[in-house]
Amino acid sequence: MFAVLKKEINSFFASPIGYLVIGLFLVVSGLFLWVFRGEYNILDSGFANLESFFTLSPWIFLLLVPAITMKSFSEEIRQGTLELLLTKPLKPIHLVLGKYLGAMVLILLALLPTLLYVVTIYALGKPEGNVDLGVILGSYFGLLFLGGCYAAIGVFASILSPNQIVSFVLAVFLCFLFFFAFEALANMGSFSIGAFGIEDLGLKEHYKSISRGIIDTRDLVYFFSFIVFFLALTNFRLKSN
């Protein structure tokens, strides 16, 4: 598994993909938070908090994480190296986990530089340091878990097709579906808010919950179950090839 993880990380940074993903995330979030005028601009809001960053990031991740994972298995299938990998003394689940953890390392590396935003709003607080660090920490955990769910979906989508573009589009669709669709369905005219617990089936509700700064075991169980489910589907698909 660790050999696969190392190979994935090396492949990300041996090509422009790793640098491009990290750079795009930082540039896009930085422009919306500090440069472009509008609802996401922290300086315009007059409040020393990162709520706009944690509202915007899931939508940026919706495109960037599938871009990271789209080649995980698609490239192996296209090049015919997947069969070679499966002949090695490596269990399919270890191959899946190696690919998945490689994507998670890149997501974590993209998030680390944004800690500078925390330092900035800490200095902007009136008085200095007047920020809710508990909410910020919870939001970072939520964003990391959300990225993990997106990555699990992306790895699964990548094993369904040898075409990276198809894998990317499918991953984006599934990520959007699980993040937004259940809340939209719960708010439709034929449903009352949260009717039948529909909202609780979606990623957005649990992301919002953990972003309040309270680590609820129900949210943790949901995220871990979601990730395990899609990795298990990927493992099943891999073994059936």
* pTM, two decimal places: 0.91
Cis before 162 (ω within 30):
no
Q: What is the pLDDT of residue 149?
A: 97
- Cα-based angle 12, 13, 15 (whole degrees, multiple of 5): 80
- Mean pLDDT, the chain cut into blocks of 10 residues (241 residues total): 82 84 92 87 79 92 93 86 75 91 94 92 78 87 95 96 94 94 68 59 89 86 96 91 68
Task: Round to the nearest angstrom and report the end-to-end CA distance of the chain.
Answer: 19
Q: Would you state the structure tokens that stand for residue 45, as one six-digit string?
A: 């809001």
Would you list the domain boundaries of the chain? 2-240
Q: What is the pLDDT of residue 197?
A: 67
Q: Is the dihedral of CA 188, 189, 192, 197 positive or negative?
A: negative
Q: What is the pLDDT of residue 82?
A: 78
Q: What is the pLDDT of residue 194?
A: 47
